[in-house]
Amino acid sequence: MQELELSTIRRFVLGDLDDETRRSIESEALENDALFERIEAVEDELLEEYIAGDLPGSERKILEETLDTVPGRSRRAALMRALAGRSSASREPSAVAELGVRARYANQARFAIAAAFATAAVAAIAFFQLTRSEPPAAPPTPTASATPAASDTETLPAPNSAIPVTSSALAAHRPDSTLLAARKPQPPHAPSVPVVTFLLVATTSRSESAARKLIIDKPDSVVDLQIAIDDDEFSHYNVELRAPDGTTLSTHRDIPVSALLDAPVIRVSVPASSLRSGRHELVLAGVHERGTEEIAYLEFDVVKR
């Protein structure tokens, strides 16, 4: 179906369309999340216009009729009125305008704290490695975005393990468990798989942020990609990792949301050997009942040493 005009949706909500058009929109609306939500939003707009006295006469008359016959709509209108009353009594206008801005800064701060936590975690592991009696590991290369560290404390997918990596493989690979495991004495035969933790912040367009650098010193390491998301709107996500030439390197499906200091993150791990030098793209998609919705595109540069 072509994108519906606003006037058509308004008439649909008011019950002012011919049967054929109405049935067509109903069919589409039950299967199309975006259209359904758009209709809901238009109904909300109509009610607000009605309450504010801004609704044109003809539409006002029809809407008033439906308010008498559709209890749900009537309840919504009453609640809107009450909320407007509560809002006027409790809030200064200047605070209203700042709310969204504060929300944005709060999110940024949350991600910054999460990033700092992740960095501190891997730095602690690196320090632990360096202070052990074994031959010193190469010091992590300082970069603004990547925090590589060697860890022999967890059983992780082998560097050449098959892709996609399942979400269950990630369950045992959280920053807190990494730290705890690092403090525990490990058997001498524990598998040695260096882990590189790399935090990215999801943005909604390809051009919103500059590409960050992921420096890989150890070709046999595993990269733990953590993608901070704005909110956990979906319960599961798909991640597609694309090579510099645009080919798909790996696809990770139905990944649940993890938490990094209460900030929602999506985690996937990939063998460093599967990455190539150059710019990679990561496509994050939310999974819903009708399929998937791409919600973020993240680019990062891989530098192999």
Partner 1 sequence: MSKVPPNSISTNAATDASAIERGLEILIARLDPDVGIASRKYQQLRRRLVRLFEWRGAWVADDLADETLTRVARKLGEGTSVDGDVEPFARGVARLVFLEFLREQDREQRVKSSPAPPSSSALDEHDLECLDRCLDQLAASDRDMILAYYSGDSAGRIESRRTMATGFGVTPTALRIRALRIRERLEACMQESRTAKAGAE
Residue 5 as a binder of partner 1 (CB under 8 A): the answer is no
Residue 230 as a binder of partner 1 (CB under 8 A): the answer is yes
| Window contacting partner 1 (CB under 8 A); options: 70-78, 112-120, 168-176, 294-302 | 70-78
Residue 76 as a binder of partner 1 (CB under 8 A): the answer is yes
For residues 179 to 208, the per-residue mask of contacts with partner 1, x marking binding by CB under 8 A and - elsewhere, is: -------------------------x----
236, 256 contact by CB (below 8 A): yes
Distance CA 182, CA 129 (A): 9
CA angle 282, 283, 284 (to 5 degrees): 115
Residue 101 as a binder of partner 1 (CB under 8 A): the answer is yes
Residue count, binding to partner 1 (CB under 8 A): 63
Distance CA 110, CA 263 (A): 6
Residue 103 as a binder of partner 1 (CB under 8 A): the answer is yes
Closer CB to partner 1, 176 or 208, in the complex: 208
**Token pair recorded at residue 106:** 């709060």
Distance CA 138, CA 271 (A): 19
Residue type, 244: P
Residues of this chain, 123-162, that bind partner 1 according to CB under 8 A: none
263, 116 contact by CB (below 8 A): no
CA angle 10, 12, 16 (to 5 degrees): 100
Residue 176 as a binder of partner 1 (CB under 8 A): the answer is no
Residue 48 as a binder of partner 1 (CB under 8 A): the answer is yes
Determine which residue in the list 100, 142, 185, 188 makes contact with partner 1, applying CB under 8 A: 100
